[in-house]
Amino acid sequence: MSGIKDIVVVGLGLIGGSIAKALQLHTPHRVYGIDSSEDALLDACSCGAIAGKAGPEELAKADLVYLCVYPETALAFMEAHGGGLKENCVVTDTCGVKAALCAGMERLAPQGKYVFVAGHPMAGKEKSGFSASDPSIFMGASYIIAPCGAPEWAVGEVEALALRMGFGKTVRTTPERHDQIIAFTSQVPHVLACAYVLSPRCKEHKGFSAGSYRDVSRVADINDALWARLFLDNREALTAELDELIGNLGGFRDAVAAGREEDLQQLLRRAGQAKRENG
C-alpha cells in the first residue's frame, strides 16, 4: 500500500499541468502546484487540477514532488527548498535529459533527507503551457525512470503513479543510456524538423505536400530556450548522433548525385530491414 498522499507539482506547463490533471483524475491524492505564472496557478485551481498553491507548509508535508521545469530551474528549486522537504519525500523530475541533472541532484543530496528518482515521461505535443496540458497525451506512452541509487520502494512509487496516470509502461535505465538513446529518438527528430523547414523550398510546399512533409516538419516550432538547453545538456551524445545522421544522409546524397542505382537500392533495402526489425 502506497504511502503517498500529498503531492506537489513544480511547474504547471504542458507536462506538469498534464500530470496534475492525470493525478486528479486517476488517484485520490491531494495535488498542490507551484508556478511562476499566477495565471497558470489560477487556471489549474479553477479547473480542479490542483487543490491550491503550494507554500512552505505544503512542501514540508509533501510525500512526492514532481519537478516539471527546465533542468537548471529544477536544480535551483531543490537548492532553495530541498532542506524543507520531509524525510523520505520522493523527488522526481520530468526533464528530457538526465545525466547533467542527476549529477546536479547528487551534489545537492547531502542538504536534504528526500530521495531522488529521475524520470522522463515520453509524451508531449507541439504546444506548451498549462492551457495545452492534457492528460490524454500520456495514454499508452512510455515512462522512463533512472533510479540514480534511490531505494526500490521510491522507484516503485514513481512507477506506480506513472501507470495510474495512464502510461502504458515504465522502463528503467541509467542517465547515460537514457541520454544516448534520447538523442536519437527525440532530439535528432526535433533538430531535423527545424533544419528541414529552413529550406527555401518550404515557402512553396502548399499544394505539393502530403503526409511526409507534415510528419517531418511537425515539431519545427518548439520552445527555443528550452530545447537549446536540452540539446546542450546532451551535447556529446547529440553531436555524435547528428554526425551519424549527416553521414548516412551523405551516403544517399552521393549515390543520388553519382547515379549509382544499385547502391541506392541497397541503402533503401538496409533501411527497410532496419525499420521492419525495429518497428
Shortest separation between residue 245's beta carbon and its own copies, angstroms: 6
Q: 169 pairs with which residues across the strands?
A: 142
Nearest-angstrom CA–CA distance, 238 and 97: 11
Nearer to its own copies, 109 or 264 (CB): 264
25 or 220, CB closer to its own copies? Answer: 220
Q: Which residue is associated with the grid cell 541497397?
A: 266
Q: How near is the Cβ of 220 to its own copies at its closest, in Å?
A: 4
86: DSSP letter: P
What sign has the CA pseudo-torsion 91, 94, 99, 104? negative
Which residues is 64 bridged to in the sheet? 7, 90
Q: Write the CA distances from 103 to 54, 81, 109, 176, integer angstroms.
A: 27, 18, 10, 11
Least distance in angstroms from the C-beta of 97 to its own copies = 12
- Nearest approach, Cβ of 150 to its own copies (angstroms)? 19
- Closest listed residue to residue 14, CA positions, set 108, 245, 37: 37
* Residue closer to its own copies (CB basis): 92 or 170: 170
- Environment class of residue 24 by beta-carbon count within 10 Å: exposed (0-12), middle (13-18) or buried (19+)? buried
Which is closer to its own copies, CB of 15 or CB of 115? 15
> What's the rounded Cα separation, in Å, for the pair 102 and 136?
28
Shortest distance (Å) from residue 54 CB to its own copies = 29
In the DSSP assignment, the letter for residue 130 is G
Residue given cell 538496409 in the structure block: 270
Of 70 and 114, CB closest to its own copies: 70
How far apart are the C-alpha atoms of 62 and 71, rounded to whole Å?
21
User: By C-beta, is 39 or 215 nearer to its own copies?
Assistant: 215
Q: Which is nearer to its own copies, 108 or 195 (CB)?
A: 195
Pick between residue 56 and residue 200 the one whose CB is nearest to its own copies.
Answer: 200
CB of 92 to its own copies, least distance (A): 18
Q: Which amino acid is at 168?
A: G
Q: Which amino acid is at 130?
A: F
Cα–Cα distance between 165 and 167 in angstroms, integer? 6
Tell the smallest beta-carbon distance from residue 35 to its own copies (Å).
23
Shortest separation between residue 79's beta carbon and its own copies, angstroms: 21
